[in-house]
């Protein structure tokens, strides 16, 4: 995969600085690691997962649209039909199917275990690249095999926690959807403005979540008088930090950084999520979870290292 020099990556009509790329990476590294805890808090507070995440993204999109319009005028929000289709495709894959699967799964899957399973996304990205005709190095294949071995160990360890097999399967399917959306996002003719891109992806993804929530019968399970205060705090955190800040940073990275570099967030997110889940929610840590997580990180490290050398 050809890339520009390390300090500058050419995108659109102007270069993206290395400082901006690494700042965005730092936000995704740390903030997204904490969102697994926030999602767990939200669903445990009896907020239905799909409707809760839809509220997260639709609220964030309204706030972002208002801010952009006040700063630059409503003209900035205009997009073409092709850009709308691209944003809708990515929004559904990443948010409705990817993030939505995480929220559904975390009704039984501990937040740390969920983050460790999501860490396999770079491995799915590699398989998608192989399906597109690329030929990875031998070290890359070793990393993929090791990484999926760790994922299998984590899936088996779910029996030692509150995780249900169906929830683990839903989570894995969600990671595949997220990887697919991340892989093909740069080819879908998205708006050049990363803030506008993030805005419309949240609009389309959040709308799809509402539809999926209705199909799952979630409105009948929504009782505002039963929602704990912690649920509203968790939801507010997801809106401001998980969506407005971190998802915008991720959209910027997809448009401006090599996908192999973007995928390195899988290194840090699980460590942050596991630590916070243990510290705040007293989630149980078994040796299988720790070993499986370590194996996945080793596999991802081999894949990313091999691809960066190749680049």
State the Cα torsion 241-243-249-250 to the nearest 10°. 130
Distance CA 49, CA 57 (A): 12
| 129-146 residue pLDDT tens | 777 777 777 777 787 788
Contact between 67 and 196 under an 8 Å Cβ cutoff? The reply is: no
The H or E element containing residue 178 is helix 165-184
Report residue 3's pLDDT band, with 50, 70 and 90 as the boundaries: very low
* pLDDT at site 177: 93
Report residue 16's pLDDT band, with 50, 70 and 90 as the boundaries: low
Lowest mean pLDDT among 6-15, 94-103, 208-217: 6-15
Q: Per DSSP, what are the bridge partners of residue 17?
A: 8
Closest CA to 91 of 214, 10, 212, 9: 212
Report residue 11's pLDDT band, with 50, 70 and 90 as the boundaries: very low
Closest CA to 250 of 57, 85, 54: 57
* pLDDT at site 2: 30
* pLDDT at site 307: 63
pLDDT at 10 over 80: no
Within 10 angstroms of residue 216's Cβ, the number of other Cβ atoms is 16
Distance CA 174, CA 177 (A): 5
Please give the backbone phi and psi of residue 14, each rounded to the nearest 5 degrees, phi first: -145, 155
| 231-275 residue pLDDT tens | 999 999 999 998 888 888 887 887 787 766 776 676 677 777 877
* pLDDT at site 9: 35
* pLDDT at site 267: 65
The domain limits of the chain are 16-310
Predicted structure pTM score: 0.77
* pLDDT at site 13: 39
Report residue 285's pLDDT band, with 50, 70 and 90 as the boundaries: confident
Three-state SS at 215: helix
Contact between 121 and 182 under an 8 Å Cβ cutoff? The reply is: yes
Average pLDDT over residues 106-113: 84
Within 10 angstroms of residue 215's Cβ, the number of other Cβ atoms is 9
Distance CA 203, CA 54 (A): 9
Report residue 202's pLDDT band, with 50, 70 and 90 as the boundaries: very high
Within 10 angstroms of residue 225's Cβ, the number of other Cβ atoms is 5
| 17-40 residue pLDDT tens | 778 888 888 888 888 889 989 999
27: which 2 tokens? 């936000």
CB proximity list for 307: less than 8 A, separation 6 or greater: 1, 126, 136, 137, 140, 260
206: which 2 tokens? 């959040």
| 287-308 residue pLDDT tens | 777 787 788 778 777 776 776 6
Residue 76, burial from CB neighbour count under 10 angstroms (0-12, 13-18, 19+): middle
* pLDDT at site 311: 54
Report residue 7's pLDDT band, with 50, 70 and 90 as the boundaries: very low
Distance of CA 265 to the CA centre of its chain: 10
Highest mean pLDDT among 10-24, 81-95, 102-116, 223-237: 81-95
Report residue 189's pLDDT band, with 50, 70 and 90 as the boundaries: confident
pLDDT at 87 over 90: yes
């Amino acid at each position: 995969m050809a890339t520009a020099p390390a300090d500058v990556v050419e995108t659109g009509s102007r270069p993206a600085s290395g400082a901006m790329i690494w700042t965005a990476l730092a936000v995704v590294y740390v903030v997204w690691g904490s969102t697994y805890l926030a999602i767990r808090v939200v669903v445990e507070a009896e907020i239905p997962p799909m409707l809760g995440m839809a509220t997260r993204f639709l609220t964030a999109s309204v706030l972002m649209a208002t801010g952009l319009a006040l700063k630059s005028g409503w003209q900035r929000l205009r997009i073409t039909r092709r850009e709308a289709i691209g944003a809708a495709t990515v929004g559904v894959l990443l948010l409705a199917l990817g993030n939505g699967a995480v929220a559904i799964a975390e009704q039984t899957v501990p937040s740390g275990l969920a983050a460790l399973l999501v860490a396999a996304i770079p491995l799915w990205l590699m398989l998608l690249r192989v399906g597109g005709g690329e030929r990875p190095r031998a070290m890359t294949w070793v990393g993929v095999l090791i990484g999926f071995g760790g994922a299998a160990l984590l899936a088996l360890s779910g029996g030692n926690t509150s995780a249900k097999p169906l929830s683990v399967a839903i989570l894995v399917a969600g990671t595949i959807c997220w990887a697919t959306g991340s892989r093909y996002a740069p080819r879908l003719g998205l708006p050049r403005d990363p803030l506008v891109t993030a805005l419309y992806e949240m609009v389309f993804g959040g709308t799809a979540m509402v539809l999926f929530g209705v199909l799952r019968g979630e409105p009948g399970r929504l009782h505002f008088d039963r929602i704990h205060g912690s649920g509203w705090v968790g939801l507010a955190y997801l809106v401001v930090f998980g969506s407005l800040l971190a998802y915008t940073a991720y959209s910027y990275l997809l448009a401006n950084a090599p996908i192999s570099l973007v995928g390195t967030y899988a290194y840090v997110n699980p460590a942050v999520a596991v630590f916070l889940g243990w510290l705040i929610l007293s989630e149980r840590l078994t040796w299988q979870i720790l070993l499986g997580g370590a194996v996945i990180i080793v596999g991802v490290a081999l894949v990313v290292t091999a691809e960066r050398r190749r680049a």
